[in-house]
Structures are given as C-alpha cells and as structure tokens.
Amino acid sequence: MSHTLISSPLQGFTDYRFRNALQRHFGGIDVFYAPYVRLNGKLEIKPVYERDLNPKNNLDCTVIPQIMTNDADEFLFVADYVKQLGYKELNWNLGCPYPMVTNRGMGSGLICNAPKIDEILDRVHAESDIIVSMKMRMGYEHPLEILDVFPLLEKYPIKNIGIHARIGKQLYKGDVDLDSFQRCLEHTNHKIYYNGDITSVEAFKELEARFPSIDHWMIGRGLIADPFLPSMIKANTTDYPSNRMELFLAFHNELLEEYAQQLSGDKHIILKMSHLWEYFELAFEESQRLIKKIKKTKKLEDYQNAVATFIAEESLIY
Ligand SMILES: Cc1cc2nc3c(=O)[nH]c(=O)nc-3n(C[C@H](O)[C@H](O)[C@H](O)COP(=O)(O)O)c2cc1C
C-alpha cells in the first residue's frame, strides 16, 4: 500500500521556515498541516498567521491551514481568508489539550459538546464551500466521547478525520490507546488518519501491521526529533544515509539562518534553537552532555562552536 505522510502541526515549531527546510533537505512529507490559527474574539488575522500561510512562503510544500475555534462566525471568517489565499481546505482542531483552551470549550474540550460541533458544521457547510477536515483526540475525559460525535459527522462531507490516539487529559504523556483507536475505526464511515507516537520506522511498521486499513499517517514530534524519519519510512529502511550528520548540519544551519533573520539578539535566536534541540536530542540519546552545552550557550558564536563539536563527535559514531 502506498502511504501518505502528513506533518502533524506543532505550534511554535512547524512554521513555514521549518517546513521549507525540512522539504529541501529531507522530503518524505506529502502534506503539512499548518499550526492552528486562533482568533481572540476579533475577526482579524494576526501577521504571524499571515506570514505562515502566505503562498509565497510555501512554494515547495503542500499546506493545509488549520483553525481552532468553537464559533461558526470565526470558522467562516478564516475559511474565507484561506480561500482568498488559494487554499481549498481548512482543518479543524479538536485536539488541543491545554486547560486554557479546553476550559473555554475549544480543542479537545469541544469533543464532549456534540450539539455545538453539529451547529458549527451545519453553518459552515451551508455558508461556505470550503472543504472541511478534522483533527481530534478521542475525548477529553475518556476515549468514548468521540463515539457520540461520529453519528452527527456522518451528515457532513468531512474530507477526513485525523485522530490522535490519546485523550485530552493525558496532554502529551502516557501511551497511545490503540484499542480505542480501533473502536473509532469501527464506528465511522469517514476516512480516518492515524496520529500519535510515530517516532521510528519500527514504530511505524507496528502501527501499519495493526491498522492495515490506514494509509494516511500524521507525524508530529517524531518529525522534529528525526527529520530523516518520513523519507526512511517511504524507503522502508532503518538505515540512515552515510552522511547523516552532514545532512543534519545543513538542515540545522538553514533553520539557524532563517531564525537569525526573523529574531533579534543572540539570546532569542539561541532560545528558539534550544527549543528545537529539546526534540533533536531524542535522536541522539548518547550525546546529552554535548547537547546540554549547546543549550547553555549565550552567544551565537559559542552556540555555533558547541554545535560544531557535537557534529564532529557524532560523525565518528554515525
Ligand atoms: C508543542 C506542540 C504544539 C502543537 N501544536 C499543534 C497545533 O497547532 N495543531 C494541532 O493540530 N496539533 C498540535 N499539536 C499536536 C501534534 O500535532 C500531534 O497531534 C501530537 O503531538 C501527537 O502526535 P505525535 O505523537 O506524532 O507528536 C502540538 C503538539 C505539541 C507538542
């Protein structure tokens, strides 16, 4: 079966700069969901979202914008905005687990409110021709919540539902609940994409064997931790290219250059890169000491030297 690999968005990480660098250096991702657009009560698109969705900034990537809202007017406003930019689809986030979001009945806090979901989908389909897809968890409190939503979703031509096989209460911790994901497959006619903990080729293969009907896979944190992952999944190999560290450095340097242009001051640039290292380090378990040094630097020059030392030492291993 041919697999479609989707970059599952990470707000603060998978912006257009990251997407372009990933695409240029590694490939393997077919579609990128952009991190969500959220309006804070005003029908107004913030410049940061404008830049991220601007087609000129996304020339080499297939991007699908995402919204997080519990309001039909907001949905329609953003649908109109992205349509003007040339997008045909808007993905709806019903997965975000953070209390600041869920307490306001958004993200995974909206899953338990089937009538609200129905009302929003009804208006969106009546008033717009935007293609709607959804990204959900299986619930906030328990993984059966989604089963009360599936029947109403049958009324709408939802393109697909990406399901992160956790509940909101778990945040990003604990295991994915594959039995509950299986139950989801049995309770909907909609096209389901799998999401959660695809962190290695081996993990992917286990999921592929367990869910033979799934052919769309969403990779979130695993993509940042190991940007080689999608192309290795596609090539069905667990072997990294022989110049792994050279390729990683080129990718890293492009991100550094991009963020240095965007941000001012060594501190902000290093902080941004350090956030990425929180994920990169997962692929280099034996080099925590060197990575700690990278994250502790204060001047860009020291940062670059620390990265160079790390790459040199790792090149001896890989
Ligand atoms: C820091 C962070 C930011 C995220 N931002 C978004 C987002 O903007 N939209 C979204 O649908 N999911 C978001 N997610 C969830 C991921 O897309 C993904 O669903 C989740 O991490 C599970 O997949 P994974 O195990 O492959 O990472 C975010 C996750 C993290 C850790």
Going by C-alpha positions, the residue among 118, 114, 117, 42 that lies closest to residue 81 is 42
Task: State whether the Cα torsion 127-61-315-200 is positive or negative.
Answer: positive
Q: Is the confidence at residue 315, as pLDDT, over 90?
A: no
Percent of the chain exceeding pLDDT 90 equals: 96
Who's near 153: CB < 8 A, 6+ residues apart?
Answer: 117, 121, 134, 161, 188, 190
198 CB within 6 A, ligand 1: yes
Backbone angles phi, psi at 302, to 5 degrees: -65, -40
Q: Do residues 161 and 33 lie in contact, with contact meaning Cβ atoms separated by under 8 Å?
A: no
Going by C-alpha positions, the residue among 111, 98, 176 that lies closest to residue 140 is 111
Q: Is the confidence at residue 287, as pLDDT, over 90?
A: no
Q: Is the confidence at residue 1, as pLDDT, over 80?
A: no
Ligand 1, closest atom to CA 166? Answer: 22
Which pTM does this prediction carry? Answer: 0.98
Q: Do residues 215 and 185 lie in contact, with contact meaning Cβ atoms separated by under 8 Å?
A: no
Going by C-alpha positions, the residue among 1, 5, 11, 43 that lies closest to residue 27 is 5
Residues in the chain, overall count: 318
- pLDDT confidence of 171, banded at 50, 70, 90? very high
Determine the 3-state secondary structure of 26 from DSSP.
coil
135 CB within 6 A, ligand 1: yes
Q: What is the mean pLDDT of residues 308-315?
A: 92
Q: Which residue, judged by its Cα, is nearest atom 29 of ligand 1? A: 10
DSSP state of 135: E
195 CB within 6 A, ligand 1: yes
Amino acid at site 61: C
Instruction: Say how many Å lie between the first and final Cα of the chain, rounded.
Output: 31
pLDDT of residue 62: 98
